[in-house]
Amino acid sequence: MGQLRWRGSILSLRFFVYTSTLILLLILPFLLSPFDLILLEYGLALALVGLGFNLLLRYTGLLSFGHGAYFATGAYTVAMVGRYIPELYSLEMLLPLSVLFSFIVSFVFGFICVRHTRIFFAILTLSLSMLVFALLFKLYHITGGSDGLYIPIPSVFGMVFNRRPDFLSGFFYYFLVFVFVVGFLFMKAVVNSPFGKALQAIRDNEIRAELVGIRVKRYRLYAFVISGIFTGVGGTLWSFVNGHVTPEVAHWFFSGEIVYMVLLGGFANFEGPIIGAIVFTFLKLYAMSFTEYWMFIIGITLIILVLLLPTGIAGGIYRLITEIRKRKTLSGI
């Protein structure tokens, strides 16, 4: 009974935090400077990537070092359509197209990768993303090579925006929040569904999962594709904020940043990757503006994180709340 009440209070606290965060997100454009608002937009786009990435890491037990490939797919879909099929260059067309292309790429790559686990899976995902990087880098006449491609401001149902700052601080911000909330709710439903439980069963014991009637490789592929689509959509939204895309987003270094931000936020908690993505975006940008040795700061943060907060920021917060609640219960408050 006490455990039920405890779970209930955690759930109601979660609901309170979610609602307050949503309200805060809606009023933030009036509180933040344009620069910080753009940073938040980068963070929200990366939060979608983090949610997708964590479906594989936390819930399926697969560590990918190649999520840059799907991020690049989403970002380059926008860039290529802008360059080669400008008549389709509108937000309502670009988003479904990025879902389609992310689906195709993640399905093909996933089909190859899910036959393996652990280090073999990680290396395969890394290798395939470097293949994408090499193609984007070498096919200069199509992809713009190392110069990358410009991302124009998209139209939205015939509405045209002339200045990027106006677009980013107005319509696009709320659109981004909308996509983030839909993605968040969808992923929340997935991890709590029987399908999500099947993924966790595969993570815990794949021999047993097969024996209870779960087709392990097929379910890993489903998770891989959902994860890839989330990352692709994140890449698409990120590209509008950035205004330019280069092959670096397909490089393993960028995939490593995705791993880093999820660890920073805490992969053991559903909300961890979101916190990690936003904190990482601000940390990186402010570190870069502070010193040219910004990677030193990032490295130090990672060491502190591993030593003091192995469960990430979200894990630390959750532990703190649990501790406070336990003390309150013990003292009879």
Partner 1 sequence: MILSVEKLEKQFGSLKAIDGVSFGIREREIVSLIGSNGAGKTTLVNLISGYLKPTAGRIFFDGKDITYASPFKRVKLGIGRSFQIVHLFEEAAVLENVRTPLFARYRRIKSILWPADSYVDITREAIGILKLFNLYDKKDSPAKELSEGEKKILDVAMAFALKPRLLLLDEPTSGVATHDKFNVMNTIVSAIRKEGISALIIEHDMDIVSNYSDNVLVIHEGRIMAEGKPEDIMQNKEVRETILGIQ
Q: How many residues bind partner 1 (CB under 8 A)?
A: 24
In the bound state with partner 1, the residue whose beta carbon lies nearer, of 123 and 191, is 191
Question: Rounded to 5 degrees, what angle do the CA atoms 131, 41, 45 make?
Answer: 35
CB of 210 to partner 1, least distance (A): 6
Decide whether 133 or 318 has the Cβ nearer to partner 1: 318
Q: Can residue 127 be called a binding residue for partner 1 (CB under 8 A)?
A: no
Smallest distance from partner 1 to CB 198, Å: 5
Nearer to partner 1, 230 or 240 (CB): 230
Residue nearer to partner 1 on the CB measure, 57 or 69: 57
Shortest Å, Cβ 76 to partner 1: 28
Our CB check for partner 1 shows the closer of 198 and 263 to be 198
Q: How far apart are CA 77 and CA 57, in angstroms?
A: 26
For tokens 């130090």, name the residue.
300
Please state the closest distance from residue 327 (CB atom) to partner 1, in A: 22
Please tell me whether residue 211 binds partner 1 under the rule CB under 8 A: yes
* Contact flag: residue 11 with partner 1 (CB under 8 A): no
Q: Which residues in 224-243 contact partner 1 (CB under 8 A)?
A: none
CA angle 88–234–253, rounded 5-degree value: 120
Q: What are phi and psi of 226, to 5 degrees?
A: -60, -45
Q: Which is nearer to partner 1, 223 or 317 (CB)?
A: 223
CA–CA distance, 333 with 329 (Å, rounded to integer): 6
Task: Show contacts with partner 1 in window 177-206 (CB under 8 A).
Answer: 189-190, 192-198, 200-201, 203-205
Q: Which of 1, 2, 3, 31 binds partner 1 (CB under 8 A)?
A: 3
Contacts of residue 29, Cβ cutoff 8 Å, sequence gap at least 6: 37, 169, 170, 173
Q: What SS3 state is found at 32?
A: coil
Q: Are 239 and 78 in contact (CB under 8 A)?
A: yes
Single out the residue of 208, 319, 326, 327 in contact with partner 1 (rule: CB under 8 A): 208
Residue with tokens 């491609």: 149
We find the least distance from the C-beta atom of residue 45 to partner 1, in angstroms, to be 24
Residue 115 in contact with residue 62, Cβ under 8 Å? no
Burial class of residue 18 (count of CB atoms within 10 Å of its CB; 0-12, 13-18, 19+): middle
107 touching partner 1, by CB under 8 A: no
**Secondary structure of residue 110 in the 3-state scheme:** helix
CB of 71 vs partner 1, minimal distance in Å:
23
3-state secondary structure (DSSP) of residue 149: strand
Q: Which residues bind partner 1 (CB under 8 A)?
A: 3, 189-190, 192-198, 200-201, 203-205, 207-215
